[in-house]
Amino acid sequence: PRNSDSFDFANYHPINEIYAFQDMLVAENPNLVSKIVIGQSYQGRDLNVLKFSTGGTNRPAIWIDTGIHSREWVTQASGTWFAKKIVTEYGRDPALTAILDKMDIFLEIVTNPDGYYYTHNSNRMWRKTRKPNSGSNCVGVDPNRNWDAGFGGPGASGNPCSETYRGPRAHSESEVKSIVDFVKSHRNFKAFISIHSYSQMLLYPYGYTRTPVKDQAELHSLAKKAITDLASLYGTRYRYGSIINTIYQASGGTIDWTYNQGIKYSYTFELRDTGRYGFVLPANQIIPTAKETWLALMAIMDHTFKNPY
């Protein structure tokens, strides 16, 4: 594609094409979008974050990431669509415009680039990072069990061959540590949304403990609003609740850490499940998935904007 308008959002793309798209978006919108490299993956790929900002210094911010589990291709594809949506709707959609006039949005589309590359070239079903584990032939860590929130507790595996291997220590994966360092140094994130697929859920902390978060009532009611907005487009039904009550106990998870860092509006999505394809969601489902998810994202971002803390 010559420009981001002609990028084919209705198909899956290898990492080089997504990275080229990001650069195009930055070049086309220099006053709104910039690219920050927050670190390198184990294999040396840049960890790119798109920053959408209309100015100001260290404004309150919203984080969105997609693709931390590499085989969940609809998430990276949706993230690409979100990026374009933000630039096209700024100045048109009053709610998004109001948000961006006061806050920044950070979007990491390919959160696990080594894994994503591997899904395109070696193993379509790869989920973890690609760092070797000493003393084991099995490669990789589940980056959604690697965070310092109940790390090592139930709901994660100590076996390097498991799909939910937590890693040798919290933040052992550069893909995780880079976000940790960035969030800590920024110190002004107000919402953090981590996007997975598939099973149609919108979840809030905690996953590692049954103790409810102190903001449970507000997070629950906002989740309900978000999934109601999502369903208004195609009728897609989501479940919602805390991770431990809605799925199962999972320790070392992303949003448990972000919530414990003081980011109240911490959510994780599980995108579409048609009941037929699992991780191999057909490409014609990308745009409908992204469109309906955008409505839920807007609900969370708008609430964050209107309820400063």
Partner 1 sequence: KETFEGHQVLRIVAKDEGQLSLIKALEDMSEFELDFWRGVTDVSTPVDIRVPFHSLQSVKIHLEGQDIEYSVMIEDLQAMLDKEQEEMVSAARRPE
List, edge to edge, every strand of the sheet that includes 46-52.
33-40, 46-52, 104-108, 61-66, 189-197, 265-271, 201-204, 239-242
Q: Does 132 participate in binding partner 1 (rule CB under 8 A)?
A: no
- What contacts 135, CB < 8 A, 6 or more positions away? 160
Which 154-183 positions form the footprint of partner 1 (CB under 8 A)?
A: 161, 163
What are the tokens at 198? Answer: 């598939």
Cα distance between residue 137 and residue 160, in whole Å: 8
- What contacts 6, CB < 8 A, 6 or more positions away? none
Choose the stretch contacting partner 1; rule: CB under 8 A; options: 7-15, 60-68, 186-194, 251-259: 7-15
Which 183-212 positions form the footprint of partner 1 (CB under 8 A)?
A: 198-199
Q: Does 279 participate in binding partner 1 (rule CB under 8 A)?
A: yes
Choose the stretch contacting partner 1; rule: CB under 8 A; options: 89-97, 115-123, 205-213, 228-236: 115-123
Q: Does 234 participate in binding partner 1 (rule CB under 8 A)?
A: no
The yes-or-no answer on residue 270 being catalytic is yes
Q: Quick one: which of 3, 28, 37, 124 contacts partner 1 (CB under 8 A)?
A: 124
Least Å distance between CB 33 and partner 1? 24
Backbone φ and ψ of 206, nearest 5°: -105, 165
Q: Does 121 participate in binding partner 1 (rule CB under 8 A)?
A: yes
Cα distance between residue 245 and residue 275, in whole Å: 22
Choose the stretch contacting partner 1; rule: CB under 8 A; options: 123-131, 139-147, 204-212, 290-298: 123-131
Choose the stretch contacting partner 1; rule: CB under 8 A; options: 138-146, 168-176, 214-222, 244-252: 244-252
Q: Does 278 participate in binding partner 1 (rule CB under 8 A)?
A: yes
Q: Quick one: which of 134, 135, 276, 308 contacts partner 1 (CB under 8 A)?
A: 276
Please check whether residue 191 is in contact with residue 300, taking contact to mean a CB–CB distance below 8 angstroms: yes
Least Å distance between CB 281 and partner 1? 9
Nearer to partner 1, 62 or 227 (CB): 227
> Could you count the other beta carbons within 10 Å of the beta carbon of residue 155?
19
Nearer to partner 1, 12 or 147 (CB): 12
The shares of helix, strand and coil residues in the chain, as percent rounded to the nearest 5, are: 40, 15, 45
Among candidate residues 90, 102, 278, 104, the one with its CA nearest the CA of residue 200 = 278
Q: Does 280 participate in binding partner 1 (rule CB under 8 A)?
A: yes
> Could you count the other beta carbons within 10 Å of the beta carbon of residue 300?
25
Nearer to partner 1, 17 or 93 (CB): 17
Give the ranges where 187-285 is alpha helix by DSSP (H): 216-234, 243-246, 254-260
Which of these is catalytic: 173, 175, 270, 292? 270
Strands 61-66 and 46-52: unpaired
Nearer to partner 1, 14 or 91 (CB): 14
The residues annotated with a catalytic role in the active site are 270
Question: Which positions touch partner 1 (CB under 8 A)?
Answer: 1, 6, 8, 10-13, 121-125, 161, 163, 198-199, 246-248, 273, 275-280, 282-283
